[in-house]
Amino acid sequence: MTGLALTLILTSAFIHATWNLLAKRVGGGVPFTWLFFGLTAAIYTPLAAAVMIRQQPRLSGFELLFVGGSASMHVVYFLALQRGYRVGDLSLVYPLARGTGPLLATTAAVLFLGEHPSPLALAGAGLVGIGVFALTADRLVLRGPKVRGATGYGLLTGTIIATYTLWDKHAVSALLIPPLLYDYGSNVIRTVLLTPFVLRRWDEVRLEWRSHRLETLGVACLSPLSYILVLTAMVFTPVSHVAPAREISILIGTFMGARLLEEGSAGRRIVAASAMMLGVVALG
């Protein structure tokens, strides 16, 4: 992995953990998700227009199909993630979602995309996965509908992450759709898809905006930025390297959950984080 790719991914990891902290604080549903989708589309319109004018990409119906597919998967991803945050801790849902995704994505990249990561890179991916589940080991043995529900939503979110990672990798590296334009188009479609569901809940939309204006703006700005950085890295870096390396955000997100949201202490998490750091180094 090149230094540029690693820089993009690590920057993205910090931004990603930050917007997830904001989303957890809101704990919203469809109205909140629609709000930041729409705001994202509005905020990034000038940049998307600049990319269109400067690069003049040729987008046929096939490329637009990929944008629409990504939008649909991301709608399910965001709704599942928000639901998980409503019933569980950030330090449980976030590691499960982020850890399951790259393991599945790396496996699929090897099986279906013909990628051949080195034994050291595979060992690194394995260390990242071990670290993820070590972070959540004590919580997973607990019982109760909330813990089971949060675990289920975390695993569902991780599965969706694996799916859209492979889909989006093909879009930006094989079809050569500009990453910013790709994510922008996806955001516009997401907003349209959710609009019918919020028209009858306009009072809830207004309440979300009044109560969580800063958090909504933060997620709207940071969520696409974190993913655009990853898409840019995927243009010239294999999925089997990018997907696991992104998961350093688990360390950041878990620290935020434990310290800022006071979700728990961290002895075991230091060991888990060390395993993850070694895994990221091995991927390089």
What global pTM score does this model have? 0.84
Which tokens in the block code for residue 44? 């990034």
Angle between helices 179-198 and 145-173 (to 10 degrees): 140
Number of separate domains in the chain: 1
* Sign of the dihedral through C-alpha 184, 187, 193, 197: negative
CA distances (Å), 202 to each of 9, 61, 149, 209, 212, in order?
A: 37, 34, 28, 11, 15
pLDDT recorded at residue 41? 95
Contact indicator for 71, 189 with CB cutoff of 8 Å: yes
CB 125 within 8 A of CB 248: no
CA–CA distance, 240 with 117 (Å, rounded to integer): 7
Nearest Cα to 230, choosing from 282, 156, 166, 152? Answer: 166
The residue segments making up the domain with residue 94 are 3-283
Residue type at position 194 = L
The predicted structure's pLDDT at residue 140:
53
Pick out the chain residues at pLDDT < 70: 102, 135-147, 264-270, 273, 277, 280-281, 283-284
Q: What pLDDT was estimated at residue 31? A: 95
